[in-house]
Amino acid sequence: MGKVAVLGAGSWGTALSIVLADNGHEVALWSHRKEHAERINHARENEQYLPNVALDSLIQVSSSLENAIQGADAVLFVVPTKAMRQVCQQVSSLLTEKQTIIHASKGIEPESNKRISEMMSEELGAHHGKGIVVLSGPSHAEEVGLKQPTTVTVSSLQIDQAVKAQDLFMNENFRVYTNEDLVGVEIGGALKNIIALGAGISDGLGYGDNAKAALITRGLAEIARLGKRLEANPLTFAGLTGVGDLIVTCTSQHSRNWRAGNMLGQGYVLDDVLEQMGMVVEGVRTTKAAYQMSEKLEVDMPITKGLYDVVVNEKPPKEVVDQLMNRGKTDELEQISKGL
């Protein structure tokens, strides 16, 4: 048992703090807003992001990064991808060499097209760079907070660091696997949000299970094609952070990406959707990043291109479905094998 600093007091940071406290760790949960930190400490609940879930007394919330990180054996970064560089810059001088560095966010940075561990490694410097661990998989905060059975994967270029993270989080409700394929784990976790936006749009347009099954299957094929180009292990996409997270995010109403897509499919405009969500919808920025990567690396990603047309070019979703359905003929095995 030790101390873990959790940076980011949204739904996922709060749910993972609950897992860590269940394992007997002292948790310093950091919110960048003082009033939010005080509110959670007082209510013993994160009413804004994870309501109706009581927080153990082992979880103490602070708006001071120094207090959160001092004496921590591990530091978990779980802010939206957009905030990751800034938070890394804020903490980089506070970290010590012994601390295990983990992130549990899901995204790709537009323009640089960097994965989260790559961005972190640039900001945190050589020592922590190679040992950064990612935790990913099919895991909605709402269910983890209720201690419902959940499985995730941890990965790192230094597998001993991933094993340390596995030991920190693993318990009878929260099963943690290791996987050496850092690229595949991060790419699967980030890109499934694009397909979940598409699944929500499909439901919002009134389409049925056939359309959703097609999106999940063909979405997996194009994620694997990009992954292969980036030298991921294709088998990772058959795992929890690939097909597992695609299934949960495309089919669960807990998913913010699915919910945002659902509203887009019903005709709401993106700015209104994002305002109403009040939580991060990573798929929007990841769509931009993945589209840029598919163009640069010449990887065929028709669903991503369609979603890019919706979120960037404001094309009506129905037109995008027609565009996808009326492409030229292709062979299924030929397409799938490009991701193997």
Ligand X SMILES: NC(=O)C1=CN([C@@H]2O[C@H](COP(=O)(O)OP(=O)(O)OC[C@H]3O[C@@H](n4cnc5c(N)ncnc54)[C@H](OP(=O)(O)O)[C@@H]3O)[C@@H](O)[C@H]2O)C=CC1
The catalytic residue positions are: 192
Q: Considering only residues 156-195, where is the footprint of ligand 13P by CB under 6 A? A: 193
Looking at the Cβ atoms of 190 and 321, the one nearer to ligand X is: 190
Which partner from the list ligand X, ligand 13P, none does 161 bind, CB cut-off 5 to 8 Å by kind? none
Q: Is 282 annotated as a binding residue?
A: yes
Q: Rounded distance, CA 30 to CA 59, Å?
A: 10
Task: Kindly tell me which residue out of 99, 156, 179, 257 binds ligand 13P, with binding defined by CB under 6 A.
Answer: 257
Check residue 94 for interaction with ligand X (CB under 6 A): no
Check residue 236 for interaction with ligand 13P (CB under 6 A): no
Task: Kindly tell me which residue out of 8, 138, 239, 339 binds ligand 13P, with binding defined by CB under 6 A.
Answer: 138
Task: Kindly tell me which residue out of 3, 25, 36, 106 binds ligand 13P, with binding defined by CB under 6 A.
Answer: 106
Task: Kindly tell me which residue out of 228, 256, 288, 305 binds ligand 13P, with binding defined by CB under 6 A.
Answer: 256
Task: Kindly tell me which residue out of 25, 100, 107, 110 binds ligand X, with binding defined by CB under 6 A.
Answer: 107
Burial class (CB in 10 A: 0-12, 13-18, 19+), 154: buried
Looking at the Cβ atoms of 230 and 277, the one nearer to ligand 13P is: 277
Looking at the Cβ atoms of 164 and 256, the one nearer to ligand 13P is: 256
Take residue 182 and report the two structure tokens written for it. Answer: 């850092």
User: How far is residue 311 from each of residues 111, 123, 272, measured CA to CA in Å?
Assistant: 16, 29, 12
Is residue 187 within 8 Å of 223, Cβ to Cβ? yes
Is residue 212 within 8 Å of 255, Cβ to Cβ? no
User: Which residues lie across from 74 on neighbouring strands?
Assistant: 4, 100
Check residue 248 for interaction with ligand 13P (CB under 6 A): yes
Check residue 16 for interaction with ligand X (CB under 6 A): no
Looking at the Cβ atoms of 185 and 205, the one nearer to ligand X is: 185
Check residue 14 for interaction with ligand 13P (CB under 6 A): no
Which partner from the list ligand 13P, ligand X, none does 99 bind, CB cut-off 5 to 8 Å by kind? none
Tell the smallest beta-carbon distance from residue 142 to ligand X (Å).
7
Looking at the Cβ atoms of 8 and 200, the one nearer to ligand X is: 8
Q: Considering only residues 270-289, where is the footprint of ligand 13P by CB under 6 A? A: 282
Q: Is 30 annotated as a binding residue?
A: no
What is the spatial order of strands in the sheet that 74-77 belongs to? 59-62, 26-30, 3-7, 74-77, 100-103, 133-136, 150-156, 174-178
Question: Phi then psi for 80, rounded to 5 degrees?
Answer: -55, 150
Is residue 89 within 8 Å of 56, Cβ to Cβ? no
Check residue 146 for interaction with ligand X (CB under 6 A): no
Q: Rounded distance, CA 153 to CA 235, Å?
A: 14
Check residue 216 for interaction with ligand X (CB under 6 A): no
Tell the smallest beta-carbon distance from residue 322 to ligand X (Å).
30
Q: Is 26 annotated as a binding residue?
A: no
Tell the smallest beta-carbon distance from residue 47 to ligand X (Å).
12
Residues annotated within a binding site for NADPH = 11-12, 32-33, 49, 106, 141, 256, 280, 282
Residues annotated within a binding site = 11-12, 32-33, 49, 106, 137, 139, 141, 192, 245, 255-257, 280, 282
> Which residues contact ligand 13P by CB under 6 A?
106, 138-140, 193, 196, 245, 248-249, 255-257, 282
